């Protein structure tokens, strides 16, 4: 009986960990409470009595530092965490935890004045964090700009002055700010004398530094380099790239996106994320469909055939989400270029009942209509394609015809579309765990 209960507990725990909402909550719990706790305890027990009135501002500074280390680790895009909660959720945590860290660091500065090199290193570390944070909120925080129209307009206007590659390098000034904070801490004699605290401080810093260096090494020396073998213009501002890889490891799933870079082309050396339109393991190559919006994407049409392409990934949770809910019907809602990851998902899951709502702004924006013609001849697939957004009543009518308790919903497209249909589905009794939206904006 005990063995049975233990096995049952393992199964329940495993299914909970597969749930990305549970995983998301677990990540927040670890970063906010669990990781800082050992250092906070060390501060409480080791801080000399003479400085006990400074305990709270020191702990604020400690929290800020640990949260910023967590943000730096998340910026390395650990793939194990992506498969658990998804990269968009990871970036959201990264952004919010960075803002909280800067806020606490500012409170720490106000409550605990210093002088000399201690003040200089602390102040300049904080000023750098604030400057990079403000810049990043405009250029690298799609989770925010997609929800604040004023910031979104400002971002598009400033993109004519600051290319993405510049933004990435400016974001790395966070590492300089972190180095200044480390020096700031080491310069404080009574903190340096707290041996357990400094041991933990060094361990946390060393682990994150090692993780960052490993990620840099993998990007530059371990990630496979493919070759651009085909470039097609699918629509007015949409291109499809085909990339041949020397070898394909089992790192890709249908519905994934990858980061690509062209290491030999100026202005295109920093990785950019794009969705896979196929299953690379089945086709032997990667097919990416890209809308020409920014400086990087607008340059794609002029990339010569045969150019080396650096590939990072895959990332994404669409297929994981489907696998976590066996025996369910799939309903997909997409708009515009958001259909791209769904193309490979449909091909890979045709044994399941699938219905897709796919809308575009104009007729020429539809992608791969020939595939939809074929899928519509298969027994488990059905589709509704239209020019112009779907009305709520259209989905209400469809929901009335299916068993919503045995259905999962995959939403893919612009932020406004994703937010609207998530609200709509929840309003009509669909539970949060039945919906997955992978926001694609950063």
What the chain holds in terms of domains, given with CATH numbers, is 2-221 (no CATH), 224-316 (2.40.30.10), 319-437 (3.40.50.80)
Q: Measured on CA atoms in the order 326, 278, 419, 361, is the torsion positive or negative?
A: negative
Residue 86: which residues within 8 A CB-CB, separation 6 or more? 20, 316, 317, 438
With beta carbons less than 8 A apart as the criterion, state whether 205 and 183 touch: no
According to the model, what pLDDT value does residue 139 have?
61
Distance CA 269, CA 263 (A): 5
* pLDDT interval class at 296 (50, 70, 90): confident
Mean of per-residue pLDDT scores for the chain: 87
Q: Which helix (H) or strand (E) holds 346?
A: helix 340-348
| Model confidence at 17: pLDDT above 60 | no
Nearest by Cα to 121 from 109, 107, 133, 104: 109
| Model confidence at 7: pLDDT above 50 | no
Q: Which helix (H) or strand (E) holds 231?
A: strand 225-235
Distance CA 245, CA 263 (A): 15
According to the model, what pLDDT value does residue 144 have?
59
Tell me how many helices (H) and strands (E) the chain has. Answer: 20, 11
Distance CA 33, CA 14 (A): 23
The predicted-structure confidence for 227-238, as pLDDT tens digits, reads as follows 999 998 888 888
Q: What percent of the chain lies above the pLDDT cut of 90?
A: 59
According to the model, what pLDDT value does residue 13 have?
40
Nearest by Cα to 64 from 12, 99, 24, 91: 99
Nearest by Cα to 99 from 79, 56, 70: 70
Alpha helices of 47-163 — where are they, by DSSP H? Answer: 55-75, 79-85, 87-111, 116-139, 142-145, 149-158
Question: What region, left, alpha or beta, does residue 270 occupy, with left being phi > 0 and alpha being psi -120 to 50 degrees?
Answer: beta
Find tokens 């409170």 and name the residue.
107
* pLDDT interval class at 12 (50, 70, 90): very low
Q: Measured on CA atoms in the order 414, 418, 424, 427, is the torsion positive or negative?
A: negative
According to the model, what pLDDT value does residue 14 have?
42
The predicted-structure confidence for 173-227, as pLDDT tens digits, reads as follows 899 999 999 999 999 999 999 999 999 999 999 999 999 999 888 877 777 788 9
Nearest by Cα to 341 from 359, 318, 321: 318
According to the model, what pLDDT value does residue 223 have?
74
Classified as helix, coil or strand, 313 is strand
pLDDT-wise least confident of 56-70, 141-155, 232-246, 351-365: 141-155
Residue 337: which residues within 8 A CB-CB, separation 6 or more? 238, 289, 290, 291, 367, 413
Classified as helix, coil or strand, 244 is strand
According to the model, what pLDDT value does residue 189 have?
95
């Amino acid at each position: 009986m005990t063995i049975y209960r233990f096995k049952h507990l393992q199964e329940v725990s495993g299914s909970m960990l597969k749930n990305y909402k549970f995983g998301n909550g677990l990540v927040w719990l670890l970063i906010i409470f669990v990781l800082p706790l050992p250092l906070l305890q060390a501060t409480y027990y080791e801080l000399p009595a003479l400085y006990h009135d400074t305990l709270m501002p020191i702990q604020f500074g400690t929290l800020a530092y640990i949260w910023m280390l967590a943000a730096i680790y998340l910026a390395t895009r650990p793939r194990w965490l992506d498969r658990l909660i998804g990269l968009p959720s990871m970036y959201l945590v990264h952004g919010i935890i960075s803002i909280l860290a800067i806020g606490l660091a500012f409170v720490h500065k106000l409550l605990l004045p210093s002088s000399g090199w201690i003040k200089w290193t602390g102040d300049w570390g904080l000023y750098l964090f604030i400057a990079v944070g403000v810049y990043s909120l405009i250029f690298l925080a799609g989770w925010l700009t997609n929800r604040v129209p004023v910031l979104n307009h400002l971002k598009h206007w400033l993109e004519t002055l600051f290319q993405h590659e510049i933004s990435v390098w400016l974001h790395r000034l966070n590492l300089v700010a972190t180095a200044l904070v480390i020096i700031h801490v080491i310069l404080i004699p009574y903190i340096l004398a707290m041996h357990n605290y400094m041991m933990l401080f060094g361990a946390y810093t060393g682990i994150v530094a090692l993780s960052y260096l490993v990620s840099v090494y993998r990007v530059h020396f371990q990630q496979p380099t493919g070759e651009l073998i085909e470039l097609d213009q699918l629509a007015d501002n949409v291109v499809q790239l085909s990339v041949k890889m020397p070898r394909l490891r089992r790192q890709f799933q249908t519905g994934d996106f990858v980061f690509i870079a062209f290491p030999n082309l100026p202005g295109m050396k920093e990785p950019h994320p794009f969705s896979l339109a196929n299953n690379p393991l089945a086709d032997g190559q990667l097919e990416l469909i890209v809308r020409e919006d920014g400086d990087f994407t607008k340059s794609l049409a002029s990339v010569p055939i045969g150019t080396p392409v650096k590939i990072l990934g895959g990332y994404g949770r669409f297929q994981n989400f489907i696998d976590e809910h066996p025996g369910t019907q799939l309903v997909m809602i997409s708009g515009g270029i958001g259909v791209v990851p769904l193309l490979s998902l449909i091909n890979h899951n045709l044994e399941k009942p699938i219905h897709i709502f796919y809308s575009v702004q104009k007729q020429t924006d539809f992608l791969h209509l020939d595939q939809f013609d074929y899928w519509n001849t298969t027994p488990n697939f059905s589709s509704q394609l239209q020019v112009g957004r779907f009305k709520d009543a259209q989905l209400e009518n469809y929901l009335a015809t299916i068993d919503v308790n045995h259905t999962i919903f995959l939403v893919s497209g612009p932020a406004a579309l994703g937010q609207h249909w998530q609200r709509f589905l929840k309003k009509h009794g669909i539970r949060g765990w039945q919906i997955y939206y992978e926001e694609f904006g950063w």
